[in-house]
Structure 1
Amino acid sequence: MADPDRDGPPEVLDSKRDATRYQVLVEIAARQPAVSQHEIAEAIGVTSQAVSDYVRDLMEHKYVKKGGRGRYEVTKEGVDWLISRTDNLEAYLDRVNSDVLGSVEVDAAIAIDDIDEGSEVGLVMRNGVLHADPAGGAATAVTVTGAKGGEAVGVADFEGVLDYETGYVTVVPVPAVTDRETLDPRVIDDHLPATGLLAVAGTESYALAARAAVTPDIRFGTVDGVTEAAVRGLDVLLVVGADQLPQHTAKLRDENIPHEVLDAIDL
């Protein structure tokens, strides 16, 4: 079984031979009973002779038994050995993910001004994009790269909470083409946020935007795209076909995004 107190890498990674032995046994288990040593060799990148040597070794340890020409089967002892090594390997990978990779998580931000590597910066959200401010801020990070103003800079070691509000979504339902009803395209100008985005879902919605001579910011993947924009602090006008309205509003409710669905009388 896995040994949680083991500090180093699992036994299967102690040497190339142990790792290859593990791979060969895995391949036999996956292909049994008709096992081609040539195919195993190609799969793990060793010679057929090397596979033959490993198979002989596994048989000597009673991890594999032979049932005839080209026919092999992993024994109960072999399965137990695989499970124990796999448990150790999984525990090791979990530790790498949590203790090692988790501690060096890096995000990208836009440098507001020139920033040197290793500097502490403030983090602010502008136009839905994370920015790094060398003047500091309530939320901070440390740069892992340098950058000129306007360039992307790598940041890590985050502390504090970003100070910004979730965006607001205004939803304009558009009648289906079969309803033989149309909206005045001025509805878009009337409700489009001054510094926000326009999202259109459905052909009828796109046609309405075209009649208003407005280019949509989001045309595809609007269920997730509108929510993501609002989470990043952007106000959004969502013009959506009546048939797609329920899935959009359900997502907004699930993500607790403040929104309003305009009634026909308001349009």
Structure 2
Amino acid sequence: MVEVLDDKREATRFRILVEIADRQPAVSQGEIADEVGVTSQAVSEYIRELVADGLVLKDGRSRYQVTNEGVDWLLSHTNDIRRFTDRVAEDVLGGVQEDAAIAVEDIEAGETVTLEMRSGILHAIPGSDGPATGTATTDATAGMEVGVSGFEGVIDFTPGEVAVHQVPPVRAGGSRNVDLDALAAACAATPLVLAAGVEATVALEQAGITPTVQFAVGEVAARAAERGVDVTVVATADEVGRVTDPLREAGTSYTVKE
């Protein structure tokens, strides 16, 4: 279980720290008490602990600020909660709803199917051989979508990796300073190629590659990797942060290459 969900005291610390971050620097302990549902005295005690632990900095009466350590602590627990809720939504609640999959072979309604993730898309195979199964709710011929409900088990797949390749900004030579052969080889190693920035787009075009996506690249890469797809992102150096921030927030494994 996630720590802040498993331990009531830890959950209260989390909520109070969030409220301080939202209200800083002028913090009303009474308002936090009303929001969190504890007494003002309890809030005062929690804040003293947070200050002692180095998560909050006190600067005069009723003036507080979340430290860098406090921000890291919040982000860590927030990511844990997000991963937990994603698992609940997909693996637990998903079992009581209907979803669509691509039929690998002809399937009849009521038939038990094994579920697999292929290229980031759910596929259904007649039979119950796999670790994740469901019941077909519609008929489908091979290659068509089939409704599936009654999910059991966990779909077995490995999250994808994201490789971010930097392209110099135009002021530093842009795509002219890119080894196009090396870039083409890197892109050939993954099924999904995304571009962030004009210089990155031009570099890919010069290498004979058309990127699949050029907008919200970090979010798309994180979602694809979450579904088991390896991704190559070619990004102008000025755009790298906009790509890696969503990856980091999603807990996606990524590397940044020069």
Contact 1:193–1:235 (CA under 8 A) maintained in structure 2: no
Match of 2:109 in 1: 117
Q: Following TM superposition, where does structure 1 have runs of at least 4 consecutive aligned residues deviating by more than 3 angstroms?
A: 101-104
**Percent identity for Structure 1 against Structure 2:** 39
1:207 matched to 2:199: no
Number of aligned residues: 163
Q: Give ranges in structure 2 of 5+ residues lacking alignment.
A: 1-92
1:143 matched to 2:136: yes
User: Which of 179, 183, 190 matches 1:184?
Assistant: 179
Structure 2 length normalisation: TM-score? Answer: 0.60
Question: In structure 1, how many angstroms separate the alpha carbons of the residues matched to 2:183 and 2:109?
Answer: 45
Question: In structure 2, how many angstroms separate the alpha carbons of the residues matched to 1:110 and 1:191?
Answer: 29
User: For 1:56-71, what aligned pairs fall within 5 Å after superposition?
Assistant: none
Q: Give ranges in structure 1 of 5+ residues lacking alignment.
A: 1-100
CA offsets 1:28-63 (integer angstroms, 9 cap, x no match): xxxxxxxxxxxxxxxxxxxxxxxxxxxxxxxxxxxx
Secondary structure at 2:247 match in 1 = helix
User: Which of 221, 229, 232 matches 1:226?
Assistant: 221
Secondary structure at 2:143 match in 1 = coil
CA offsets 1:13-35 (integer angstroms, 9 cap, x no match): xxxxxxxxxxxxxxxxxxxxxxx
Contact 2:247–2:253 (CA under 8 A) maintained in structure 1: yes
Contact 2:95–2:151 (CA under 8 A) maintained in structure 1: no
Secondary structure at 1:162 match in 2 = coil
Match of 1:131 in 2: 123
Could you say if the C-alpha distance between residues 103 and 188 of structure 1 is closer, same or farther in structure 2, counting changes exceeding 3 Å?
closer
Structure 1 length normalisation: TM-score? Answer: 0.58
Contact 1:171–1:260 (CA under 8 A) maintained in structure 2: yes
Question: In structure 1, how many angstroms separate the alpha carbons of the residues matched to 2:162 and 2:212?
Answer: 14
* Greater mean deviation of Cα atoms: 208-217 or 179-188: 179-188
Question: In structure 2, how many angstroms separate the alpha carbons of the residues matched to 1:103 and 1:238?
Answer: 33
User: For 1:55-94, what aligned pairs fall within 5 Å after superposition?
Assistant: none
Q: CA deviation at 1:220?
A: 2.2
Question: In structure 2, how many angstroms separate the alpha carbons of the residues matched to 1:151 and 1:254?
Answer: 35
* Alpha-carbon RMSD: 1.8
Contact 2:103–2:145 (CA under 8 A) maintained in structure 1: yes
